[in-house]
Structures are given as C-alpha cells and as structure tokens.
Amino acid sequence: MNSSTRSQIATSNPTSEAMIARAEGLAPKFRERSAEAEKNRRLPDDSVVEMRAAGFHKILQPKKFGGFELGISTAAECIRALATGCGSHGWIANLFIVHNYQLSLFSEQAQREYWADSDDVICSTVSFATKSDAVKVDGGYRLNGRWKFSSGCDFASWFIVLKPSATLFDWMLIPRADVTIEDDWFVSGLCGTGSKDLILNDVFVPDHRVLSIRELARGTTPGGAFNQMSMARLPFSWPAVWGIPAALIGMATGMAEAVRQTLIGKKALFSGEKQVERVANQIRLTSVLTDIHAAELIMRHRLSELERWAEAGEPPSAIDAFASQRDAAYVARLTGKVAAELGLMAGATSVYLANPIQRFQRDINVGVTHVSLVWEESAENYGRALWELPPKAIRG
C-alpha cells in the first residue's frame, strides 16, 4: 500500500463511538456462533472476516500504516462489548488489537516488512517455550523448538515469539511460512481461541526483527520513537494488561444477562415460587451487577490515568504504576467471583453444554488464570511500593 492510500485511510478514521457501536452490533452474531466456535476450537471464518471489516485490529495500529490510533480506552470498550456475546470472540479481538500495537514498537524496518503489502494484517504471539533454544548467529538468531498458546494462530500472517531463555524475554518476529502449527488445543474453556502450539525448526530471525525486553519495560522502543504514539512512552505491560480484564468484564456481563433471562418464567422446584419474585435472587442479581459495574469503573479510571500519563510523557509514581497493575488483577478476581455466584444462581439446568451460561463460566474460569493477572504478584509489587522498597527485578 502506498503512502497516498494510507493517507486517505487516516483521514477517514472512525470515531471511538463508531467503533464501540460496531462491537455492540456484532456481539449478538458472535453469541449465536459461540457454540460453533467452541465445537471447532477456533473462531468461525465469518467472524474473523467481520472483525477485520470492522477494523478492530487497527484500533491501536499506527496511522503511518493505515491504523486508527484510537487509544486503549476505545480498545477496551470494544473488547468488553464483543465478549458479552462470546468469550472466545472477545479474547481474540483483544489479541488482534494488542498484537498490532506490539508491532508498532518494533524497528521501522520490521514494521515496513509486516505492513509491506497491506494494512490489513493479523499477528499472533506465543509466550511459553518448551524444549526450545535460540542461538546467536551472524546478523540474528536461529530458533528451534515448541512454543505454546498461539491464540488466533489460524488467521495470523506473522508471529511474535519470546526468546527462549531463563533470563531473557525479547520479542522475535517471524512470518507464517517459518512456522508449523500443531493442534493440541483441547481445553475446558476459551476453546474458540484456537490457542495452538507452534513448531520452529532452524528458523532465522534477523536482528531488526528482535525487540529488547529492556526497551519494552522502559517505554523506549525504536518503533515508539518512529511512530510518535503517546502510548508507546509507557512500559508495554501497563496498557496491554487491561485487554484481558476488559474481555472478562464482557463475559461476566453476558453471563449475568443469560442468567437473568433463564430465570424468567422459571419456578422453584419445591415451593413453586417464581424465581424472579424470590428476594434472594433479586439481591443476588443486584449484587453481581454491582460488582460488574465496579469492575467497569475501575477499568475506565485506570485507562484514563494511563492515557493521561502517556500524553504528559512523564512517568507516574511507583505506587500509581503498581496500583494500575494491581487493579487489573483485582478486576479479574472480581469477575471470577461474579461467575461463581451466577453459576449457583442459575441452577442445575445451566450445566448442559447447550446452555451459554456454563460456557461463559468456563471461559471466565480459564481467562482468570492468565499469567499477567496473578493477584499475589501484583499485590506484592504494590505492597513493596507502599514501603518504598525497590521493585522486583525484571528478568533480562
């Protein structure tokens, strides 16, 4: 795509409100396809076509390469809305969005390779390596081994893999032609994400397609300087960690609505009382919806703070920075609590596989296990900041 075409796209960027409306409009379709996604253990092709047509993957993509640069708050609201229909769809939407932001942090040369033929490109990542190694050679690295959890890999043209080392987590960008996908994604929840294994056999990664974890942690990436995107001034994990809580909030919202609808017309087995007239159910539903609303407010507050810090170009205090990470983990815990309460409220008929309630619950149960949302680590880092202790060292 030439520069004049990209310029035309940039001037016709959708607004944040338009993008959120697109997500809300697609959520019912994705709800109808949730069973299909779970059965096939990947998103339906039609869903990905619609996601790309809506431009969700361009929300954080640089304008220099046909993106919208709409900001992390817009991304989170779209992810949340899509996940109300189907957890796997919301999860993958998050990754399509965040991965193209990740690409914007690589070197200019790597970005030009990635978006050489089109601004409509999708990437997947793999973060956990087994039996893998990286050997430094002239001009780059050679990779061998197996990497896990490549969500959305069936639709990706490029992959970001973590350098397999006990002490380093540098990112390495490789094209689809260099990987073999092995399907081992037989899981209890988020089945539709298709998070399969990647096999790499003597793959060469040139130096310009390697990004240092140190630069990511400091907000000093070459791509950030090239694209002049304000969010790139922040350490990558600060905004990126919020995509999964946004999806979890959406799943909890979708599950709550499914339970509300289920209890309409339903009666208690022994008393015959209408379920919607039982005070216990009225209080329970009010409680979970209040928890969901609290989670939304926390997320929106933290994202507005992140955007303010990015625009100012000044780092916040350690306490403020760790509070944002803490709250992302807390929101995940809160959605897990909501799912457990809704599962009890729904009753035994909700356990059938055809019922969306149990699918939401399983998706949330899997989603909260993500390594970025470990409560104890986030709470420890925040606690250390409270006592003005140095943060735990980042490996690398």
Question: Has residue 80 got a pLDDT over 80?
Answer: yes
Q: Which of the two residues, 352 and 38, has the higher pLDDT score?
A: 38
Contact 190, 87 (CB under 8 A): yes
Q: Looking at residues 264-275, what average pLDDT do you find?
A: 86
CATH class given for the domain over 3-114:
mainly alpha
Question: Has residue 169 got a pLDDT over 70?
Answer: yes
Is CATH 2.40.110.10 what the domain over 123-216 is classified as, yes or no?
yes
Which residue in 164, 338, 321 sits closest to 233, CA to CA?
321
Fold assignment, 241-386? Butyryl-CoA Dehydrogenase, subunit A; domain 3 (1.20.140)
What contacts 24+ positions apart, CB below 8 Å, involve 265-270? 266/347
Q: Looking at residues 380-393, what average pLDDT do you find?
A: 90
Mean of pLDDT over the chain: 93
Could you tell me the two tokens for 177? 């032609």
Q: What is the pLDDT of residues 14-24, one digit of tens each?
A: 999 999 999 99
Q: Looking at residues 170-187, what average pLDDT do you find?
A: 96
Q: What is the pLDDT of residues 84-101, one digit of tens each?
A: 999 999 999 999 999 999
Q: Looking at residues 255-281, what average pLDDT do you find?
A: 91
Q: Phi/psi at 313 (nearest 5 deg)?
A: 70, 20
pLDDT at 8: 38
Q: Looking at residues 185-210, what average pLDDT do you find?
A: 97
Contact 326, 382 (CB under 8 A): yes
Q: What is the pLDDT of residues 298-322, one digit of tens each?
A: 999 999 999 999 999 888 988 999 9
Segments of the chain assigned to CATH 1.10.540.10:
3-114
Question: Has residue 330 got a pLDDT over 60?
Answer: yes
Cα separation, 170 vs 162, whole angstroms = 6
| Torsion, CA 24, CA 30, CA 34, CA 35, rounded to 10 | 140
pLDDT at 167: 63
Max Cα distance, the chain (Å): 77
Question: Has residue 111 got a pLDDT over 60?
Answer: yes
Question: Has residue 3 got a pLDDT over 90?
Answer: no
Contact 246, 370 (CB under 8 A): no
Could you tell me the two tokens for 300? 């929106």
Q: Which string of DSSP letters, residue by residue, matches 201-253?
A: EEEEEEGGGEE-HHHHHHT--HHHHHHT-GGGGS-THHHHTTHHHHHHHHHHH
Q: How much of the chain exceeds pLDDT 90, in percent? A: 84
Contact 268, 38 (CB under 8 A): no
